[in-house]
Each structure stands twice: as structure tokens, then as C-alpha cells.
Structure 1
Amino acid sequence: MKQILNIAALSLCLLSYGQTKEIDSLKISLKQTKHDTTKALTLLRIGFLYYQISPDSLIKYTSLGQDLSTEIGFEKGLANALNNLGTLEYSQSNIDEALEYYTEFLKISEKIGYLNGINRALNNIGIVMRIKGDFAKALNYYEQSLKVKDKIGDIKGKGGTYNNMGMVYQDLGNYTKALECYFKSIEIKEEIGDEDAFASTYSNIGELYKESGEYDLAMEYYSRSKDIHVKYNETLGIGTSSRNIGTVYFLMGDEQKALEFFNRGLEISNTVGNKILKANLKNDIGKVYFSEGQYDKALIHFKEAYNLFNEIGYNVGIIENLISVASYYMQFGQIKNAIDHGNEALTVSRILEYKKGMSDASKLLYEAYAKLNDFKTAYEYSLIHKVYYDSLNSEIQSREIAIFESRYQLEKISTENEMLASQNELHQAELEKNRLQIQRQNLLIYGGTIMFLLSLGMMYIGYRYYKSRKRSVEIQKKKNREITLQSKILAEQADELIRVNEEIQSMNETLEEEVTKRTKKIQAQNEKLKEYAFSNAHHVRAPLARILGITAQLKSGDPLTEEQRKRLNASILSSAEELDQVIRKVSEILKPED
């Protein structure tokens, strides 16, 4: 089951440098505040921000805010005080006490119509319900919280709640819904630029890959999560990430690396005083020692983990611990002890409807009874195991299909983009071919004109043509000026021919008409080229830029929802069709006239 510590979206964001600055700023404001209600809320906010630094300071400022709120009859302040105290109990893994405070926080907030308080209380209670294994209630509270968030416009909070809902669906084996919620969370966080909040979602996706046996991908997402926690100096998040990475190393058979990361996480859990993280890591370290054959060390850690799980009421942790201890007793032939622990694990799993626990516990029990030669009881437990094992395999298959589908859709979009890029290259090549063809036509026109003039002995014109060929690039850029120059030269030459020989007067007039005709044809061609250049610079570039922009977004590797993929596909298709129409228009422009 997914680590509970990843659900720190309790309105319990980890303390960062920005929050430290906020405390300092609030203390300055507190000295200048005259209104008692504002002063009470400021005291309570300072208290809340202290929960990761100093529990004593949290209690101090919360008490001051609570006392002032009581004195002036400020129920909103009293509600926030209850939330602070619930947060303190939660951070110390006192789950039942936290639930009591959050429930009172909700009652007062509902009484006074305090929507922001209702929102936070519903979300916090949902998280506690998940820890207690009541998944249906957890989802119900999260869904209520989403409705309130829509009313108050809490977009960032919706991202956190979708992330929490994804973890509940993951616990229930509904991996399609889990991924759907995770991607909704990512979409919201990307929209508002909330990089810090990506850590928990990356961790949850890593968990899906871990359970699917794709350890390299799991390690990639766990590492992304850890990098964000390190960047924002989130101590508890770093500890959780260390546990996640250690778990992957353990599953890959690198027990020393696993132990190294587990011990790092354990140091952090002791520093921040988080019992859930500490209990999980104690159990994990016990598994490593058991795998290495250091059974005495394993049992010590298993027992320490059990005491912590029992103290905080973390039932799923208790189940996994009981099965670990039962395996220990099986190893040493203490079958009765193994059966006792297995039965207890199976009983709690049935209460929680925790399928993995029921499958693992019933498997251990049928193996234990088989060792006692009680094959009838062993057979009964083997049937129980088969039912839940088959159910889990079906869920695992569903999870793998969901993951495969999400990856397939991303790869499909990438392939389609590559095809569009290839088609675009072909279109560009065709445009270049047309451009060269027109350029050759222009050269032929110029050459024909010059040859005609050369036949009349116009060496000067030939000389100008020779120079114009050497400066073909310059001529292309200065077409209008060159046309004017050619017209003047033709006019001057016509005058010269009249003076030289009156006998060729009529021929010269014919020549002048021909030159005028050719000049108009050249001007028409130039107009087409200008229209082509404009289309290429404006009409072709616009859809092409959109396609390139979408391709860049897809190459970033960020997962997309189905809705996003549809929008991107529609945009790509629209841009491609627009590009096709522009190219057709350009082809019509460049089509030679009869």
C-alpha cells in the first residue's frame, strides 16, 4: 500500500524558506495590528507555520490566539485554533486525537458558514480516514471538499485533493481512476506553476510503477519527487523519498543500498518526530535483515515497528508487520506463533477489506497448516488465498493496462507529431522546388531577352546581362529597381538604333513593343514572387509555428490527460489543414501562365 506520508496535502504543506519569511512578516504585522479579530487570526497563522519547526511555539501562539478569540467571542478564530491543534497531533502521528480536533473544526466552520474552514476540515478528515483504512469515507470527504473548493475558487487545493483521491483509488486497486486523478492533479499544478506540489504526485506515480514491477521508472519518479523536496528544503518529504527509493533497491535485490536509504529516512523520522515514517522504516529494515539471514535483528525491528503502528492506530502497517513476524516464526518452525500472527493479520484485513493483506495472510496460514499436516484447514485457507490472489491479479492487470494505455497515448501523439513534421518537411521541399523552378523561369526570361538583344548587336546589353548573372542574389532582392534600369536601357538603345539606321525603324518599333511585352511579363512574375514571399512569411509560418509549439510541448515528456491529447490532436489537424490550404494557394500563385 502507498505510504501514508505522501498525503501531506492536509493543508499541511512542509515548511520552506518562504514560510519562515512569512512568520517574520506576520510578527511585524502583529505589533502594528489594532483590531482584535485580525490579531487573533495572525497569532493562529503564526502558530500553524511553526508546526514543523517548534511544536512548543505552535502551542504558544495557538493558545494566545485561542484565548483572544474566546475573550471576544470570535468563532472563526476558535475554529482555526482547533485546526492548528489537529495539525500538531497529526504531525506527531496521534491520529485519533487529530480526528477529534478536525471534526470540531468542521462543526464550527459549518455553523458560522466559514467556507475556507469547511474546505480544509473536509480534506484533513479525508486524509485521516484513509490512514484508518476507511476508504469509502475518505473519498466521500474528498468529494465534498472538491465541491467547496469550486465555490471558493481554490484551484491549488483541488490539485492536492485530486492527488489524495488518487492514492485512495490506488489502495482500492482502481488504478485507472488513480491515474485519472493523478493526471488531473498534474494538469492543475502545471497550470498554476506549483512546482513544489508536484513532489507528492510524482511519488504516487512512482508507486504505481513499483507495484507493476517497472523499477527503473519507479526510481525515476521517486527521484524527481526527492529533488523537489530537496530544492524546497522539505525535511519530511526527503525522508519519505529516501524510504521509497530504498524500497525499490530492496525489490531489485540491492539490500545494502536499500539499508543505506532506509537508515537515512530513519534519521529524518527521528528528527521531525514522525511516528508513521519511523514505524514503516523499522518494518522495512526488519525485512532487509530477514532477507540477509540476520533474524535476531529482524525480529527486534519488527517488534519496534508493531508497537509504533499499534500506538498510532495505523492498521495497514499492523497487517504488514504481523505477516512479516509470522514469516519469521515460520522460518524457525514456531508454527503456532506464525498461525496466531497470520490469523490476526487476516482478521484486520477483512475488517478493512484490504485484499493484499487477506491474500498474503491466507497464503501464510495454508503453508503453516500444511507444515502441521492439517491438510483440510490448509486447503480451506488455500481457497481463500486463491480468491483474493486472483482478484489482486485482475487489479494488477487493470493497473498495467491503465499505465500501458497512458504511455501508449503519449507515444501515439509523439508518432503522429513526427509524421506531421515529416509531411511538413516534404511540403517545404516542394516549396523549395517550386521556388527554384520559378527562378529558372526568370533566368530563361532574362536570357531570352538578352539573346534577342544580342542578335541586334547589343553588346552593351549583353555586358549588363553578364554582370546581372554574377549578382543574381542582389538582383533577386532588388527586382523593382532592376526592372526600371532595364526599361531605361531599352529606351536608350531604341533611340540609338533610330539614329544609326533609319532602315531598321520598323524593326526597332517592333522590338520596343516586344521589350514592353516582356517587361510586363517580368513584372507579373515579380508580383507573383512577392505574393509567394508574403504567403511564405505570414500564412505558411503561422500554422507551422503552432505545429512546432505543440511538438515542443509533447517532447517535454509531461503526461497528458485524454482531454489534453484530444485538444492537441485537434490543433495539430487544424494547423496541418491550414498549412495544406496555404500551400495549395502558393502553388496556384506560382503556376506558370500560358
Structure 2
Amino acid sequence: MRTVYLLVCFWFCTRSGEAQVPQTLDSVMVYLKNHTALDTNRVIALNVMGRELHSTGTPNYKRADSVLRVSEKLALDLHYGLGLGKAYTNIASIYFLTDRPQQALAYFQKALSVAEAYSLSLRFTCGAFSNVAAAYNKLGQYDKVVEIQLRSLRLQEEKNLRPRISATYEGLGNAYRNLGKPREALPYYQQALAIRQAGKEIQGMAIVENNLGVTHDLLEQYNQSISYYRRALKHAEEVNFELLQADILVNLGLVYRLTNRPLEGLPYVKRSLAIEQKLQNKGGLGTAFFNLGQIYQDLKQFGPAEEYMRKALTLANEVGNKQKITDYTAGLAELYNDMKEYKLAYDKQVQLAALKDSSVTLATNRQVEELITQYKTEKKEQQIKLLNQQAKIREEELTNKRLQTTALLITGTLLLLLGAMITAWLLNRARLRRLEEAQQLRKQIAHDLHDEVGSTLSSISLLSGMVNGIIAQNRPESVERAVQKINTDARQILEAMDEIIWTINPSNDTLHRIALRLQEYAQPLMESKNIQFSLVADPTLDTLPIPMEVRRNLYLIGKEAINNLVKYSEATQATMRFEHQKDQLNVVIEDNGRGFDTSQLSERTGQASMQQRARAMAGTLNVQSGSGSGTKLHVSVPIG
């Protein structure tokens, strides 16, 4: 059970405008002794001192908070908006790093209010949005994270802010990862890392590299995750960021545990525990205790495993972190099951059931879908706004003409009425079109959830109802099989939800995204069969938008064809090509396998279903194959 800090670099927006003030702790303390004037430079210096006290080296949170409170008061007295916004940002980051996200949220929101009230720079304002989102992320409110980070990203795109703010991309990566969509998170983290590297931000690079390591863990790509963790640890040590070092060390210990090498992971987690004990950070200390307990559990040393996990749960209860309480309770239940202490395991499972609420996850996913749909329809709303503005201009012109002559007055009145009728008609038609699109989207999502999720949820419900009876009969083997079945069904639901949300996500409205998605799906399957696989995509695909229904049908045809190729072809080489020719998209999937008789329609290979999907896109699907001559599938779809 992994628990990871979701650290965001809050201090990117606190360095601008400080050229006159030293930026290191020792030099700024000397500066403050010599600079006694109560002016804006003193506010800046106090902010720098507070930042350095809590964000570098061994943090001194109490002293940092005291310094920043002085900075806050002086900035208020001077009506100095930038200094006040920085003070609130730094105070919030102290709460964030000491695992008090609710207080962090309050001060990040204060910083955002100051940015808007004083019309501070675009970079500061967008950064303030990202910081608010980071606090919501730590509170587990991922729908708000997506909403706020998309707002920040839109603002940066509208104003063409360069370079973009790394924290915005990191925040979106965190949200997608916590929603169980690590593949969606990866490109956001990669963009964030590129920005950090370009700015030579060592501390920021360490944070993003750590997040990339966690994401590759979730994808079970452990060699990549170890590589990122080692780079992150090197950068964190370079800037002496001990809190982040502790987090990375825990993650390194966990990746060795996940690869069945707990003895190799043990020293890393012990190093993390030593740092957390030195910093007296309860949240991090609980994380280290719990992960140390899990390693001892793997080593069958149940005594220390139980001791450390109980310590972790006690700290989580003291802090009031509901997610960690849930994780640690689940971990203890698993430990007691391994110890064959079935009564204790049952008690923890009862506690765990009271803590969990599956409806929260489903509601969060629905809210995220609504946000994405809203983002997709914004352009249409802007077009309606433009029509209103044009109608108002036309009305003013007609009013001026009406004052000239009576004849023009009559004509102007008629034109005004006609213009109003046309505008009303256009608005009504656009509104109806949006309602129809929204209704169609809801029907599609409901259909997909019923087909792909409903039956599996029924299976989980049935198995869950059986578990209590099996436990009462003292049949641990049957309980284990039932739990494994529930785990398999739950994973299938997550995969189905991932495909549904990917389909409606407006950021995937290009052919290039479909090609990448199919490549991600095909690559591990091809490797499992030792098939050499390559993807060739026309560079112009990146700028070609495509309707949601066409995207869905094209993806499902490609997925079905890839499955057939892997299962039946016995090929050694396979290629997938995306070609754009005028107003036509051609997708070709071919292999050098054994081939088959195309005259024999097979339900097993889903040919009829693929033909039906091609017709739904007003396209064609042609399959060419023969015994020993491989297979070539060609889909042609009109676009543009």
C-alpha cells in the first residue's frame, strides 16, 4: 500500500521582482540587519527569509511562520499587493508541507484573492491558481483540481504566457494519476520536467522526477521508475531538500518491494524514517512507519511489521488524514490475514468498510466528465456571445438611421425586428444543438457504463455478500479466491472507466492522440508474443480534430484488429500506419503472419462488428489475407 507526498514547488512565483534583495538565507539576514526602513524592500527580504527557512536545508517551520507573519502585517500597512501575495503563498506552503492541507488551502486562496484584487502579474495569478489546486489535490478533491488547473492553463494559452508554469502541468498529472489514469498523467509530467530543466530548477526537477517514478510504478515499469527516483534523489540531495529526500527514499524502498526484493528496499526506508524522525513531521513519519511494516511483512517478520503499522495508524489518526487511515487499516487487515489472525483481520475489514465510500469515487469521475464536456462546449458559447455583440452593433446603427427620416425609421424598425428574430432563432438553434449533443453524450456514457461496468459491479456485489459467510465458516482459501476475483473485476471496471473517460476527453480530439493510444495498447501485447511492432503516423495528424463518435469507433476497430493479430496471426512483424490524404484518413494494420481465408466470416475475430463501426463513420473497411501471405486491414474514413 503506497502513500506518496504530492509536493508542488510553490516558490516559482515568489522570486520575481527581488533583484535588489539577496536570495540566500545568510545574506538576506545580513541585509535585514542593515536595511531597517519599513518599505517594500523589507517586505521582499522577509518573504525571502521565510521561504528559505522552510523550503531549503533543514526546515524551521516555526521561525519561518513568525517571519512571514511580520511580512504579512508590513505588506498590509504599505498596501503592497505583491508582497502580501508572496507572504500568503509562503505561509500556505508551510501548512502544506506539514500535512495540514485545509489551512494551506485557506492561505493559497488568500494569495489568489490578492493577485486578482491588485491585478498582479499573469504568472503570479496563474501560479496562485495552481497552488489552490495542489491543496485540493491533497484533500482528495480531484474534480476541483482538474477544474482549477484547466482554468490556469486556459489563461496561460489565451495570454500566450512563456514559459508555461510547470506547476499547472504537475497538478494535472497528479489529478489524473490519483484518478487511476497514469498513462494520461505521463505527458503532463514530461511537459513539467521540460520546463523545470529549461529553467535549471534543480528542486523542481527533483519533485517532477519523483512523480514520474511513482507513475511508472503504477504502470509496472519498474526499471524506468528506479531511474527517475535515483535522479530525483541526486537533485534533492544537491539542494539539501530533506523532506523530499525522505519521500524519494520511501519510494525506492517500495519499488524494490514491488519487484520481490524487500531486503534491498529495507535500507532506503530506514534512511527515510531517520530523516522524518529528525524533522518530526507526523505525516511523513507515518508513511515511513507503514512502509517499513510492509517490508517486514514480506520478510515474514510479523512482530515488527505489526508494531510499525500500528504506529503509522496512530499518527494518521492524530493528523486526521482520512485517506491514510483507510490505507493503514487495509494494510493491517492484510497483515493479520497473513498471520492467520482471522478475527483481527475481520475486525479491520469491518473498520475499512465503514471508512470507504465507493460513491465518492464514482461521483468524482462524473464531475470530471462534466468539466471536460463543459470545456469542449466553451467555443460554442463564445460564438453565441459574438452573435449577441454583432446584434447589438446592428441595433445601434439602425437607431441612428431612424433619427434621420420617417421612412428610414420604418425600415430600421423592420430591420431591427428581423435582426432580433434571426438572433433569437440562431440562439435557440445553438441551444437546442448543445442540448442534443449533451443528451447524446449522456446516453453514450450510460450505455457504456451499463454494458462494460454494470455486470461486473453485480459480480463484485454478489462476491462481497458471500465473503462474510465464508469467513464465518473459517474457509480462508475460499476467502482468498473470492477476494482475488473481486480484485480482478475491480481492475476490469477501472480499465472500462479509463476508456470511457478517454473517449470524451476533449484533449484527445486529434488523430495523433488516437495513434498514441493504440500504440500504448499494442506495444506490451506485441512484446509478449515477440512481435516486432512499429507505428508510422503522418505529422499533420496532430492538428486534425475529429468527432468523439468517430474517435471511439476508430479506436475500437484498431483495438479489435490488434487483439486478433496477437492471438491468431503467429506473426513476427507488424505495422500500423496513419495516413492523411486530402479529406481522407487511411489506417492500415498489417502483419507477416499465417493469414486466413477472408471468405469465411468469423464472429470470433469480430469482423462483422468492425464493418458495422466503419459504416457508422461513413467509411469502409477492407481485409486482405491469404494462407501464408499475412493479413492487411485497411480502414478509410472521410474527414474535414
TM-score by length of 2: 0.55
* Alignment counterpart, residue 68 of structure 1, candidates 33, 52, 74: 74
Encode CA deviations 1:119-151: one digit per residue, 9 max, x unaligned.
Answer: 333222211111111111112222233345557
Q: Which residue of 1 aligns with 2:435?
A: none
Could you tell me how far 1:279 is from its partner in structure 2? 1.9
Could you tell me how far 1:324 is from its partner in structure 2? 1.0
Encode CA deviations 1:473-519: one digit per residue, 9 max, x unaligned.
Answer: xxxxxxxxxxxxxxxxxxxxxxxxxxxxxxxxxxxxxxxxxxxxxxx
C-alpha separation between the residues in 2 aligned to 1:72 and 1:21? 22
Q: Which moved more, 1:198-207 or 1:121-130?
A: 198-207
Q: Which residue of 2 aligns with 1:49?
A: 52
Q: Which residue of 2 aligns with 1:370?
A: 470
Q: Which residue of 2 aligns with 1:170?
A: 177
Closer/same/farther in 2, CA of residues 363 and 253 from structure 1, 3 Å limit: farther
Q: Which residue of 1 aligns with 2:10?
A: 10
Could you tell me how far 1:285 is from its partner in structure 2? 1.3
* Alignment counterpart, residue 328 of structure 1, candidates 324, 330, 335: 335
C-alpha separation between the residues in 1 aligned to 2:9 and 2:2? 15
CA contact (8 A) 1:343 1:361 kept: no
Normalized per residue, the structure richer in strand is 2
CA contact (8 A) 1:176 1:402 kept: no
Encode CA deviations 1:336-379: one digit per residue, 9 max, x unaligned.
Answer: 403312313433x5434599xx999998886454221499x989
Closer/same/farther in 2, CA of residues 401 and 305 from structure 1, 3 Å limit: farther
C-alpha separation between the residues in 1 aligned to 2:142 and 2:162? 24
What secondary structure does 1:51 align onto? helix
Relative contact order, higher structure (CA 8 A, sep 6+): 1
* Alignment counterpart, residue 41 of structure 2, candidates 34, 38, 41: 38
* Alignment counterpart, residue 390 of structure 1, candidates 470, 484, 492: 492
Runs of at least 5 residues in structure 1 that lack an aligned partner in the other structure: 415-594
C-alpha separation between the residues in 2 aligned to 1:198 and 1:336? 44
Closer/same/farther in 2, CA of residues 50 and 224 from structure 1, 3 Å limit: same
What secondary structure does 2:220 align onto? coil
Q: Which residue of 1 aligns with 2:24?
A: 22
Closer/same/farther in 2, CA of residues 364 and 318 from structure 1, 3 Å limit: farther
C-alpha separation between the residues in 1 aligned to 2:287 and 2:193? 27
Normalized per residue, the structure richer in helix is 1
Supply the AA of the counterpart residue of 2:111.
Answer: F
CA contact (8 A) 1:362 1:384 kept: no
Q: Which residue of 2 aligns with 1:339?
A: 349
Supply the AA of the counterpart residue of 1:295.
Answer: F
Q: Which residue of 2 aligns with 1:131?
A: 138
C-alpha separation between the residues in 2 aligned to 1:233 and 1:32? 29
Encode CA deviations 1:242-293: one digit per residue, 9 max, x unaligned.
Answer: 1111001111222222221111111112223333322222111121222333
Closer/same/farther in 2, CA of residues 395 and 233 from structure 1, 3 Å limit: farther
Runs of at least 5 residues in structure 2 that lack an aligned partner in the other structure: 16-20, 366-456, 503-515, 527-532, 537-640
Supply the AA of the counterpart residue of 1:332.
Answer: E
Q: Which moved more, 1:130-139 or 1:116-125?
A: 116-125
Supply the AA of the counterpart residue of 1:7.
Answer: L
CA contact (8 A) 1:240 1:265 kept: yes
C-alpha separation between the residues in 2 aligned to 1:340 and 1:134? 25
C-alpha separation between the residues in 1 aligned to 2:163 and 2:324? 30
Supply the AA of the counterpart residue of 2:470.
Answer: A
What secondary structure does 2:9 align onto? coil
C-alpha separation between the residues in 1 aligned to 2:488 and 2:204? 40
Closer/same/farther in 2, CA of residues 188 and 85 from structure 1, 3 Å limit: closer
C-alpha separation between the residues in 1 aligned to 2:341 and 2:211? 37
In the alignment, does 2:194 pair up with 1:92? no
Supply the AA of the counterpart residue of 1:26.
Answer: V
Closer/same/farther in 2, CA of residues 319 and 156 from structure 1, 3 Å limit: farther
C-alpha separation between the residues in 2 aligned to 1:95 and 1:198? 23
* Alignment counterpart, residue 360 of structure 2, candidates 341, 346, 351: 351
Closer/same/farther in 2, CA of residues 2 and 382 from structure 1, 3 Å limit: closer
Closer/same/farther in 2, CA of residues 196 and 177 from structure 1, 3 Å limit: same
Closer/same/farther in 2, CA of residues 112 and 25 from structure 1, 3 Å limit: same
CA contact (8 A) 2:209 2:229 kept: yes
Encode CA deviations 1:142-188: one digit per residue, 9 max, x unaligned.
Answer: 22333455578765662232123112112212334212212222333
Could you tell me how far 1:299 is from its partner in structure 2? 2.5
C-alpha separation between the residues in 2 aligned to 1:362 and 1:10? 47
Could you tell me how far 1:402 is from its partner in structure 2? 6.7
* Alignment counterpart, residue 206 of structure 1, candidates 184, 196, 213: 213
In the alignment, does 2:263 pair up with 1:256? yes
Closer/same/farther in 2, CA of residues 282 and 360 from structure 1, 3 Å limit: farther
Map 1:170-569 onto structure 2 (within 5 A).
Answer: 170-330=177-337, 331-334=340-343, 336-347=346-357, 349-353=358-362, 367-373=467-473, 387-393=489-495
Could you tell me how far 1:118 is from its partner in structure 2? 3.0
Q: Which residue of 1 aligns with 2:129?
A: 122
CA contact (8 A) 2:202 2:239 kept: no
Encode CA deviations 1:1-32: one digit per residue, 9 max, x unaligned.
Answer: 875425232338999xxx99523343454434
Closer/same/farther in 2, CA of residues 346 and 125 from structure 1, 3 Å limit: same
Q: Which moved more, 1:3-12 or 1:130-139?
A: 3-12
Supply the AA of the counterpart residue of 2:120.
Answer: Y
C-alpha separation between the residues in 2 aligned to 1:314 and 1:401? 39
C-alpha separation between the residues in 1 aligned to 2:464 and 2:242? 37
Could you tell me how far 1:43 is from its partner in structure 2? 1.5
C-alpha separation between the residues in 1 aligned to 2:134 and 2:67? 25
C-alpha separation between the residues in 1 aligned to 2:98 and 2:461? 30
What secondary structure does 1:104 align onto? helix
Supply the AA of the counterpart residue of 2:331.
Answer: S
How much is the aligned-residue C-alpha RMSD, in angstroms? 4.4
Could you tell me how far 1:315 is from its partner in structure 2? 3.4
Could you tell me how far 1:412 is from its partner in structure 2? 6.2
Closer/same/farther in 2, CA of residues 242 and 154 from structure 1, 3 Å limit: farther
Supply the AA of the counterpart residue of 1:333.
Answer: Y
Supply the AA of the counterpart residue of 2:92.
Answer: G
User: Sequence identity of aligned pairs in percent?
Assistant: 18
C-alpha separation between the residues in 2 aligned to 1:256 and 1:87? 35
> How many aligned positions are there?
409
TM-score by length of 1: 0.59
What secondary structure does 2:342 align onto? coil
CA contact (8 A) 1:10 1:127 kept: no
What secondary structure does 1:307 align onto? helix
C-alpha separation between the residues in 1 aligned to 2:517 and 2:214? 12
Supply the AA of the counterpart residue of 1:136.
Answer: D
C-alpha separation between the residues in 2 aligned to 1:362 and 1:272? 47
CA contact (8 A) 2:463 2:482 kept: no
Closer/same/farther in 2, CA of residues 211 and 20 from structure 1, 3 Å limit: farther
C-alpha separation between the residues in 1 aligned to 2:137 and 2:93? 16
Closer/same/farther in 2, CA of residues 132 and 291 from structure 1, 3 Å limit: same
Supply the AA of the counterpart residue of 2:106.
Answer: E
Supply the AA of the counterpart residue of 1:310.
Answer: N
Q: Which residue of 2 aligns with 1:532?
A: none
Closer/same/farther in 2, CA of residues 401 and 214 from structure 1, 3 Å limit: farther
